[in-house]
Structure 1
Amino acid sequence: MKKVVILFLCCLVSGSLGLPNVQQVLRTKTQLKSLEHTKASRVAKVDADLCPLCIQFTGQAINQLLNIILNVGVVGTCGQLCNLLAEKTGSQLIGAACTIFCDIEGIQEFIKLIQEADLDPIYLCELLKTCPIFDGGDATITKISITPQSGPQGEREIMFAYASKNGTGTGEIIVGVDTVDGIPVESGFLQQPLAAGNYNKTLTLKAEPDPDCDPTQQPCEMWEPGNYTVIIDICNGECGSKHPHSKVYDRKTATFTITNDLDKCSTL
C-alpha cells in the first residue's frame, strides 16, 4: 500500500513540478547557475527509484516544516500541518505531497523525523525509507581535467572520473570553485547508489558574469583574472552532515586560470 501511494505521489509531483532525473541540484549558493551538469556516463546501469522525488520535496519543504513546528507548536493532524505548509510555500502541490508522506508515517512520527533530520534532505528521506542506506561504500576520484585550463572568461568543461570498489550509498557530489574574490560558487548533485565500477561526469562552468545576477540582492561573481581552484567532493549522505550514514568518500582539486585580454594584446 505504501508503495502504491508513493507511486501516486511520483506521478503527481513529477508531472507538476518538472522534477529532474538523478542529477538533481540539492543546494543553492551564489552563482549556482554557473555550473551545469551536461552529461554523465557509467559502466553499470542503476535503476532510478523514488529517492530523487523525496529529496526534491524535502529540499523544498523541510525548512518551512521546521519553522511551522517551532512557531506553531502542537499540530494535531497531517492536514493541519500540510495546509500550513501549502500556505507558507504558496504551493498546493507541496502541501499535497506533505499530506501523503505524513499520512504514511502518522503525524507524530512525521514531526519526529523532520526534527531529527534537521535540514538534511537526504537523511530525512532515508528516515522515510524512500532512499536506500549503504554504509560500506567507497569512491576515489581518479582524474580531473579542466578545458581550457588557461584563457579569458568563458565556458570551462570540467571532467572528472571516479572508481568504487564496493559501490556507493545515497549521497551527493559537490563541485565548488574557490574564486579570486571569495564569492562562493557551488553546485550539489544527488548521487543515487551505484554498483562497484568506474564512472565519469562532465560539467560546464560558465566562468563569466551572470547578466541576471542583481548585486543589490546578492554578491555577484565577476570572474576576474587570476587563478581558480575547483574542489570536488563525493559523499555518502549530504557532504558535511553530522548525521548517520554521512561521510566524505573523497575530495580532489584542480586549478584553472582566467587571463586578462589586455595582457594578450600587449604581447602582440
Structure 2
Amino acid sequence: MYKALICILLVIIGATYASYPIAKQPKKLQRLPSNSGETKVGIDLCPECIEEAVEIINVILNIILDEGIIETCGELCGLLANKTGSKIIGDVCDVACEAFGLDEFVKALIKADLDPIWYCEMADLCPINDHGDAKFTNFQITPKSAPEGSTFVFDCSFTSVNGTGTGVINIVMIDPKNRTAANLYWFEARKPGTYPEKIGLQTLFELDCDPTQELCDGWAIGTYNVTAQVCNGECGSHHPHSSTYDTATGSFEITKKKNSFLKNITFL
C-alpha cells in the first residue's frame, strides 16, 4: 500500500534517526548515576517505549517495505515482535498503532515527524503534564579549568513545584573555535521534588571525532560556553506538550594540551 513512498523515504528517515541522541549517548558525554531515590510518575512502558522508539520506527518501515499491504495493527506489530525477538516491543507497537489507527500510524512514520517522547505520549504510554515546572537549582561546571584529558562534570540538578511531564535536559556546548555540539538526556515524568542530575564530559578525545577513522586534533585550548535547558517534552519541539521549563548557562576552560603519548590511544 505504502511501498513506493516508503522506498523513497527510507534512506532519508534512516539518516535522520541514526543521529538521534536520546537513545544513544556519546561515550564522552555521559549522564552520571544518581542515588536520589527519585519518585517517578507513569507506567513501566514509558521508558521502554522511549528507549526503543527509534529502533521500532526503522524496523516497522522495513517490514512495510518488505511485506507490502498489511491489514491490521496486530499483523504489523506481530511481525515487529518476530523481527526483534521481543514481545514487549511488539506490545508497545500495538498500543501506539491502535491509538493512531493503522493508516495514520503509517503516515506519521513516513513523514518522519515523530520525536520519541511525543510518539510515546500520543500512544498513551508516557504521562502528559502541561502544568508542570522545573528550575535548575544551581547549574555548575566543575572543575572550572583543567588540562585536556580531564573530566568535567555538569551539575544539572533541578527542582519542581508542580511536577513535570516526560522531558529532557538539553546540553549545547560552543568551543573556542565557535563549533557547536549538543545532546539530549530524557527523564520520566516527576512528582514535585528536587532531582540531582549530573553529566560527565571526558576530554581525552575530541567530542565529535572518531580517532579510529580520522586524525583528531584534540580539544582546543580556551573557554567552552555551555547552555543547559530542562524541558517538557523535547526542547524546541513544535509538537504539543512541549515547552522549555528553565535555561542556565556556564563555562569551563581547557588550559593546555594533553601529553603527546596519549594521542596514540584509541577506543577499543
TM-score (norm: length of structure 1):
0.71
Q: How does 1:80-229 map to 2 (within 5 A)?
A: 81-82=76-77, 92-93=84-85, 96-104=87-95, 105-106=97-98, 109-113=101-105, 115-116=107-108, 118-153=113-148, 154-209=150-205, 213-214=209-210, 222-229=218-225
SS at match of 1:58: helix
Q: Which amino acid aligns with 2:70?
A: V
Corresponding residue for residue 56 of structure 1: 51
CA contact (8 A) 1:68 1:85 kept: yes
Determine the structure 2 residue equivalent to 1:230.
226
Number of equivalenced pairs = 232
1:87-123 alpha-carbon deviations (Å, 9 max, x no partner): 9xxx5336x5553334444497145246447231111
User: Gaps (5+ residues) in structure 2?
Assistant: 1-20, 259-268
SS at match of 1:229: strand
SS at match of 2:196: strand
CA distance in 2, matches of 1:226, 1:100: 50
CA distance 1:110–1:51, shift in 2 (3 Å): farther
Q: Give runs of aligned pairs for residues 33-44 of structure 1, distance below 5 A.
A: 33-40=27-34, 42=36
Of all paired residues, the percent bearing the same amino acid is 37
Q: What SS does the aligned partner of 2:245 have?
A: strand
- Secondary structure of the structure 1 residue equivalent to 2:137: strand
* TM-superposed deviation, 1:244: 0.6
Label 1:108 to 1:190 Cα distance change in 2 as closer, same or farther (>3 A): closer
Specify whether residues 233 and 102 from structure 1 end up closer, same or farther in structure 2 by C-alpha distance, changes over 3 A only: same
CA contact (8 A) 2:81 2:90 kept: no
How far apart in 1 are the matches of 2:74 and 2:175?
Answer: 46
Letter aligned with residue 237 of structure 1: G
RMSD: 3.6
Q: Distance in 2 between matches of 1:126 and 1:107?
A: 10
CA distance in 2, matches of 1:65, 1:77: 13
CA contact (8 A) 1:28 1:186 kept: no
Shift of residue 44, structure 1, vs aligned partner:
5.5
